[in-house]
A and B are shown apart, each in its own frame.
Chain A
């Protein structure tokens, strides 16, 4: 158990480290300098040089990388080169917006997808084909487009939910839920379809296992076969797919935030990229990678809890 988790945790650590170095290198290895970009074409060489040395750009790359890693390790993501605000503090405020949207969408798709998978796997026939076709379409729907459709149908036409505007959970739980319902639905549609397909395939396979046949020969009740034995073995691939899907959901949340006026990481990324605020860009990459990797580590623990053979590895 500890061996398995130690390996997963080590992999997670390496992944975050790679994300940090990668984002640093991407930003630093590009032609042009931040001074030039910030000051524009009209600035003199001296002005650009002064700006660059103020940022620390003219130091050797490895020195900059070392210093950056050391400060990130201490939890310090630096300050914005545009207005000097603390990047870490800013992102920490934005993270719950993006993160909770993604987590909620993942939870919705886990429950709805497993339910649909159960339904399809046990009914088979026409129901099965209908679920399969519908999920084949749904898994391809881009959230940023279904988001627009949902705004039109549910906010403008039906007037059920606010189209834009974010309310923090502290300001009111139900208002907060209302403000993120549309993005959660838009994100959960393709994820639900993928979970449903995985759950269906895994359940059908599990129901063919010899140990299910053995229980059947003992006259075990069908609901116990399905919900206790087959569902538990099917939950292992479902959780693995959820891990992959969480990455998609988090990225999707970043992409659709502007549509719903959510003050999350996507907005921070947009602002940072358009204003060449490179420490902020790096910050977004690091925070997003950290969250995605931690959630996947959590799911690894869950898999180990579900399948003792994984623990024994």
Chain B
């Protein structure tokens, strides 16, 4: 049996099945059209065979044995002079029915077990799953041989029904994951609270959710069943002569391969086409489901070379230039809307810059763009990224790679998945040390220990031996920081480095970063949605909203006296402000959502959610310097600031 359970992992993103009309999405793929088309044609030809077949299936023609195709026998004749076309389509009906029977039996056995296992939880599930595992491990074809030994090979339907019972284990394994996923959905829980019984939950909510997976699996099992059935017939355990079967016809062909090689073609091609059709139909169904899950998939990877200035850039550092200088950077979805527009930043060594904003405003993409690690579907549309005077935007992978690790490095968002779980911490750290420092194995281990001590790990020897999943989140983040520091980079890009960590650990990691900045003079770009993190560590802040910067300047200024209403709203929504700030009586929320890329208004992008918005906010607004040295993108900035300072009670 060549059935794999691998396609089972992802439960479908099923909506509550409310009489939704299902468009046959799979029919838009060539494989789906071919698969469904061939199976339909075959079924039609088989059903009508008695009406059109030119000869009786057993009609022998002993003078015309082993003749190739001719006008009277389109596909030739076999060893007894019987018409091959007639025999193929006489055999096809029972073959298709028997395969369908085994599929039906497989589902009839498996589905009640799946529903029971998903509904009644662990105890039932363990028993049924163990049984399924045992049956799954049995060689099905060989077990069928034992059955044939007992009842003979003549009764194809009985044998294929038995195959269905064995294949039920495959169905069970695949559908169980899906059913369990569906069982944990909120609307199923809601139905249960409403007093809907287990059987009805199974029929109304779980079964429809399994429909697509079932269709995929049915196609695959149908193919496997046809293969096994023909294989057994090929061995001589199919329907008894003179009843035709595809496997039997191929067996005959193998005997006459010297005299008449042609006769292996028709039956073999029809058999192969049928199996291919069923498998391709399954693939198309699975792919259609995949498309449904990821509604908008993007184009294949293409490296961003849009803004590539081809002239050679100065390779050495330009004296006096800032360490990092980003000018007018724009990022876009390839062939889609802009995601980040007109971003300008600059950062000196030993300084920490915070990029802050709600999710979906382009912070992380900006950070990845600095490293040249944008996802394949995103590219930089224009602008420049200069690092020590060298232009990074438009650099190829080959030019960027030597810079990564040595000049720029990344601290990841979730340290628990940023280390390879299959290798020890020691292996991963030592590999980078050996690459960057060109030292031997022993020396690398010694340096790894020193490196871990430097990032505040108490027992480095134990951590070196550990696998990443054996570490706590904070410990893992210290390890990734140690990794990032290995090549002594001059710029660290930290994408939400504390978001995945506990609050107490967050503070420790920020302390560590601050200490490293002081000791090594490394510059840091830190991306966060948390104003507390920004207040804690940053020298400068850039507040991003809907793909561009709305306020930018020294951290003290921006946090103390925000000039943009969005910055103010973010600060008011922050549960833990710096110690000396009074916590407002009630945390504020910002109504509405960040507009999606492509849906940005031409005027102020925040206007729709801004409580100070006026008519004039609908005209485009640029970043403008404010009196206190910050840049603000708000038409009413000055006016609002005056209002705010005027309304504030005077000192004393």
A positions within 8 Å CB-CB of B: 11-12, 14-15, 18-19, 22-23, 26-27, 29-30, 124-125, 136-137, 139-142, 144-145, 147-149, 151-152, 156, 163, 190-191, 194, 198, 201, 209-211, 213-222, 224, 229, 232-233, 237, 240-241, 244-245, 247-248, 250-252, 254-256, 258-259, 266, 269-270, 272-274, 276, 278, 281-282, 284-285, 288-289, 292-293, 296, 306-309
Q: Is the CB of A139 within 8 A of B2?
A: yes
What 10 pairs across the A-B complex have the smallest Cβ distances?
Answer: A219-B404, A281-B149, A251-B141, A217-B410, A219-B405, A218-B405, A30-B150, A140-B275, A145-B268, A140-B276
Max chain B Cβ within 10 angstroms of own Cβ: one of A12, A190, A217: A217
Chain A residues with CB under 8 Å of B236's CB are 258, 270, 274
Q: Considering only CB atoms, which chain A residue lies closest to B272 in the complex? A: A141
- Complex contact B271–A241 (CB within 8 A): no
Within the complex, which residue of B1, B234, B408, B423 is in contact with A251, where a contact is CB–CB below 8 Å?
A: B1
> A240 — nearest CB in chain B belongs to which residue?
B6
Contacts of B401 in A (CB 8 A): 219, 221
Contact with A along B389-406 (1 / 0, CB 8 A): 000000001000111111
Given A210-B418, A309-B421, also A216-B301 (CB < 8 A) = no
10 chain-A/chain-B pairs, Cβ below 8 angstroms: A11-B137, A22-B138, A26-B149, A125-B300, A136-B283, A145-B272, A148-B250, A149-B268, A254-B141, A296-B137
Knowing A151-B257, A211-B419, say if A241 contacts B6 (CB, 8 Å): yes
What is the distance, in angstroms, from B473's C-beta to the closest C-beta of chain A? 14
A-chain residues with CB within 8 Å of residue B247 when the two chains form the complex: 144
B409 and A308 form a contact (CB under 8 A): no
Residue B261 at the chain A interface, CB threshold 8 Å: yes
Decide if A149 touches B405 in the complex (CB within 8 Å).
no
Q: Which residues of B contact A224 (CB under 8 A)?
A: 431
Query: A140-B275, A156-B257 given as contacts; is B149 within 8 A of A278 (CB)?
Result: yes
B614 within 8 A of A: no
**Cβ-Cβ contact count across A and B, 8 Å cutoff:** 244
- In Å, the complex CA distance between A152 and B255 comes to 11
How many angstroms between the C-alpha atoms of A292 and B371 in the bound complex?
A: 49
Residues of B within 8 A of A18 (CB): 134-135, 138
Contact status A308-B137, CB under 8 Å: no
**Which of chain A's residues has its CB closest to B484's CB?**
A218
Q: Which of A141, A306, A307 has the most CB of B within 10 A?
A: A141
B-side interface size class? 35 or more
CB distance from A143 to the nearest CB of B (A): 8
A187 to B: closest C-beta gap in Å? 11
Do B138 and A19 touch across chains, with their CB atoms under 8 A apart? Answer: yes
Please, which residues of chain B bring their CB within 8 A of the CB of A190? 2
Known: A219-B401, A259-B254, A273-B148. 12 other contacts (CB 8 A): A11-B130, A26-B149, A139-B2, A148-B254, A148-B264, A152-B264, A209-B417, A217-B371, A219-B402, A229-B420, A232-B423, A233-B420
Which of B91-99, B223-231, B305-313 lies on the face that meets chain A? B223-231
Which residues of chain B are within 8 angstroms of A137 by Cβ–Cβ distance? 276
Q: Assuming the A-B contacts A136-B31, A144-B231, A148-B268, are A23 and B421 also in contact, with contact meaning beta carbons closer than 8 angstroms in the complex?
A: no
By a CB distance below 8 angstroms, the chain A residues around B148 are 273
8 Å CB interface, B198-252 against A:
223, 227, 230-232, 234-237, 247, 250-251
Question: Nearest B residue to A249 by beta-carbon distance?
Answer: B2
Name the CB-closest residue of A to B301.
Answer: A124
Instruction: Tell me the B446-487 residues at the A interface (CB within 8 Å).
Output: 467-469, 480, 483-484, 486-487
B146 contacts A26, C-beta separation under 8 Å: yes
B140 lies within 8 A of A30 (CB): no
- Per the bound structure, the CA–CA distance linking A217 and B237 in Å amounts to 60
Contact partners of B141 in chain A: CB under 8 A: 251, 254-255
Complex contacts, B251 vs chain A, CB 8 Å? 144
Pairwise interchain contact B143-A23, C-beta atoms closer than 8 A: yes
Complex Cα–Cα for A241 and B31 (A): 23
Interface SS, B side: helix
Nearest CB in chain B to that of A252: its residue:
B231
Nearest CB on B from A10, distance (A): 10
Least Cβ distance of B305 to chain A in Å? Answer: 16
CB of A218 within 8 A of CB of B404, answer: yes
Q: Is B612 an interface residue (CB 8 A)?
A: no
Give Cα A210 to B301, complex, Å. 17
For B232, B257, B417, B435, the residue with the greatest tally of chain A CB atoms inside 10 Å of its CB is B257
Q: Which residues of B contact A (CB under 8 A)?
A: 1-6, 31, 130, 133-135, 137-143, 145-151, 153, 223, 227, 230-232, 234-237, 247, 250-251, 253-254, 257-258, 261, 264, 268, 271-272, 275-276, 278-280, 283, 300-301, 371, 373, 397, 401-406, 408-410, 412-414, 417-423, 431-432, 435, 467-469, 480, 483-484, 486-487, 493
Q: Contacts A139-B2, A151-B257, A211-B418 given: A284-B142 contact, CB under 8 Å?
A: yes
| CB neighbours of B250 from chain A (8 A) | 142, 144-145, 148
> A241, A273, A281, A308: which contacts B467 (Cβ < 8 A)?
A308
The answer to whether B264 touches A145, judged by C-beta atoms less than 8 angstroms apart, is yes
B500 vs chain A, min Cβ distance (A): 11
- Selected from B264, B300, B373, the residue in CB contact (under 8 A) with A216 is B373
On chain B, the residues within 8 Å of A22 by CB distance are 138, 143, 146
**Interface contact A220-B435, CB-CB below 8 Å:** yes
Q: Give A247 to B272 CA distance when docked, in angstroms.
A: 21
For A217, the chain B residues whose CB sits under 8 A away are: 371, 373, 404-405, 408-410, 484, 493
A124–B377 alpha-carbon span in the complex (Å): 14
Query: What is the CB-to-nearest-CB distance from B67 to chain A, in angstroms, rounded to a whole number?
Result: 18
Please judge, given known A-B contacts A12-B137, A288-B142, A289-B138, whether A255 and B234 are in contact too, CB under 8 Å. yes
> Which of chain B's residues has its CB closest to A29's CB?
B150
Q: Which residue of B lies closest to A311 (CB)?
A: B467
Q: Are B150 and A136 in contact (CB under 8 A)?
A: no
Q: How far is the CB of B66 from chain A (nearest CB, A)?
A: 15
Considering the complex, give the chain B residue whose CB is closest to the CB of A22. B143
Least CB separation from B435: chain A residue: A220
- A149 CA to B250 CA, complexed, in Å: 11
Cα distance A213–B153 in the bound complex, in angstroms: 56
**B4 in complex: contacting residue of A29, A194, A209, CB < 8 Å:** A194
State which of B235, B280, B397, B484 has its C-beta within 8 Å of the C-beta of A255: B235
CB-CB < 8 A to A259: which residues of B?
254
> Quick check: B234 and A144 within 8 Å, CB to CB?
yes
Inter-chain contact A148/B145, CB cutoff 8 Å: no
Question: For residue A212, which residue of chain B has the nearest CB?
Answer: B420
Q: Residues of B contacting A252 with CB < 8 Å?
A: 231
Nearest-CB residue, chain B, relative to A126: B300
Q: Report which of A136, A151, A255, A292 forms a contact with B279, defined as CB distance below 8 A.
A: A136
Contacts of A237 in B (CB 8 A): 6
Contact A142 B231, beta carbon cutoff 8 Å: yes
Q: Determine the distance from Cα of A36 to Cα of B264 in the docked complex, in whole angstroms.
A: 38
Partner pick for A288 among B139, B283, B408, CB 8 A cutoff: B139
Closest residue of chain B to A232 (Cβ to Cβ) is: B422
- B135 contact set on A, CB distance < 8 A: 18
Given A148-B253, A251-B1, A27 and B140 touching (CB < 8 A)? Answer: no
Q: What B residues does A141 contact at CB under 8 A?
A: 272, 275
Give the shortest distance, in Å, between A110 (CB) and chain B (any CB): 15
Contact, CB under 8 Å: A26 / B139: no
Instruction: Contacts A252-B231, A255-B141 given; indicate if A11 touches B134 (C-beta within 8 A).
Output: yes
Chain B nearest Cβ from A224, distance in angstroms: 8
- Tell me whether A307 and B422 are in contact in the complex, defined as CB-CB below 8 angstroms, given that A22-B146, A29-B150, A209-B417 are known contacts: yes
With the chains together, A124 CA to B300 CA distance in Å?
8
Q: Are B275 and A142 in contact (CB under 8 A)?
A: yes
A214 to B301, CA, bound (A): 19
The interface residues of chain A lying within 8 Å CB-to-CB of B234 are 144, 255-256
Min CB gap A115→B, angstroms: 19
Residue among A141, A210, A216, A218 with the most chain B CB within 10 A? A218
- Could you tell me the distance between the alpha carbons of A88 and B237 in the complex, rounded to whole angstroms? 24
Query: A142 touching B404 by the CB < 8 A rule?
Result: no
| CB atoms of B6 and A284 under 8 A apart | no
Q: B419 — which chain A residues lie within 8 A by C-beta?
A: 211, 214
- Decide if A285 touches B268 in the complex (CB within 8 Å): no
